[in-house]
Structure 1
Amino acid sequence: MRLRLPDIATDPDAFEAFYRRHVDGISSFLARRVEDPHTVADLVAEVFVAVLDSAHTYRPGRGSEIAWLYGVARNTLSAERRRAFKETRLAGRVGGRRPLDADDLAELEERIDAEATARRAFQAMSGLPDGDRAMLELVVIDQLTIAEAAEALGIRQGAARARLHRARRTLRNVPGIAPFVIGGTR
């Protein structure tokens, strides 16, 4: 019998298999966007909690499991950024992070270092319109297909292709970044 994504909410073995299949990809996704290892660790946990809470919303006919998961991760990261902005603006920076052991910290620092080039690419892309930048991030940096990225963003594939083309055209002459963003589509 084929496992359905909603089963992960009630079957611990199914959740563990799902988690193991995707934790590295989600950790990298977040490490490309966040420099603090504690925040990355917290966000990874939040993504998988959100997956458990919303597994029943996954519809295979609307897209792949990976596209749905990256949509959950993007929403979790957006919620964290809004929360952090409010916290910084209203109350300053507050502790409350879970402690990481030395191995966790070293692994996350390695991942953050490995994603330094991607963070530089994000800086170069910061001037793009939000939709174009999001499409470029998902296809070029996160290696989703155009169809998966369109699903994660909730747009049609034609619109996704147009956004990707516009973003690449805008960045094609940026020194050091062009080969990174111009790569082929999947």
Structure 2
Amino acid sequence: MTVPVHPPPVTAAARTFEAIYQAEFDVVTAYFARRTADPQTAADLTADTFVAAITSFATFDRTKGTARSWLLGIGRRIFAQHCEAVTRGRDVVVRMNGRRALSGDEIDDLVGRIDAEREGRELVAAMAALPALDREVVELVDLVGMTPKEAAAVLGVSSGAVRIRLFRARGKLRGQA
């Protein structure tokens, strides 16, 4: 005799995370598409961000910021870890052994997203002369569409500092054009 297996009930937290995932997936993917032209890397970094988010979802506090700022803060750390691993050369073996090959449709979709972020990558390249924090402020506010307060939460600085950096960085970028 077999005992019927019933899936566990879906919790409110699971529904909330799913809604956040669906609402912010494109934003997180675009964040990484501005940083790499490789679809597999963009997909992996996006997946890593959501894995880190779901494992720490119990600590997410909406009173401290939006889901978008929380996810991009995680994405920022994931990207920094990725860059460090690539720089040290450790990433190659791990990535090749643990990555799922993308299907043709997935690659086409990510290539389209990467193409759509071409202007964003051009802006990121133009910002190379700016200090790192200024570059991130411009990206979060002007490309992602965050408020200075949300960007401040992602970067761990005051919203006043973000506004000042944004004003100065925009002036420098206008001077380059």
Query: TM-score band, normalised by the shorter chain?
Result: 0.7 to 0.9
Give the structure-1-normalised TM-score.
0.81
Q: Give, in angstroms, the shift of residue 92 of structure 1.
A: 8.5
The answer to whether structure 1 residue 49 and structure 2 residue 51 are counterparts is: yes
Matched, 1:152 2:154: yes
The secondary structure found in structure 2 opposite 1:173 is helix
Query: In the alignment, is residue 63 of structure 1 matched against residue 79 of structure 2?
Result: no
Q: Extract unaligned runs of 5+ from structure 2.
A: 1-9
1:174 aligned partner: 176
Partner of 1:180: none
Q: Which amino acid aligns with 1:28?
A: A
Give the match for residue 22 of structure 1.
Answer: 24
Pairwise CA distance, 1:11: 4.3
> TM-score when scaled to structure 2?
0.85
Aligned residue pairs total 165
**2-side partners of 1:148 and 1:164: how far apart?**
13
- Which one has a bigger Cα radius of gyration? 2
Q: Counterpart of 1:143 in 2: which secondary structure?
A: coil
CA contact (8 A) 1:9 1:55 kept: no
| Structure 1 residue aligned with 2:165 | 163
CA distance in 2, matches of 1:39, 1:173: 33
CA distance in 1, matches of 2:75, 2:11: 17
Counterparts of 1:1-186 in structure 2, within 5 Å, are 11-87=13-89, 93-94=92-93, 95-96=96-97, 97-175=99-177
Closer, same or farther in 2 for the Cα pair 1:127/1:34, shift >3 Å? Answer: same
Percent identity, aligned pairs only, is: 38
**Residues 1:116 and 1:150: Cα distance change in structure 2 (over 3 Å):** same
Q: CA deviation at 1:10?
A: 8.0
Give the drift of 1:49: 0.4
Q: Report the residue type matching 2:153 in the other structure.
A: E
Query: What's the Cα RMSD here?
Result: 2.0
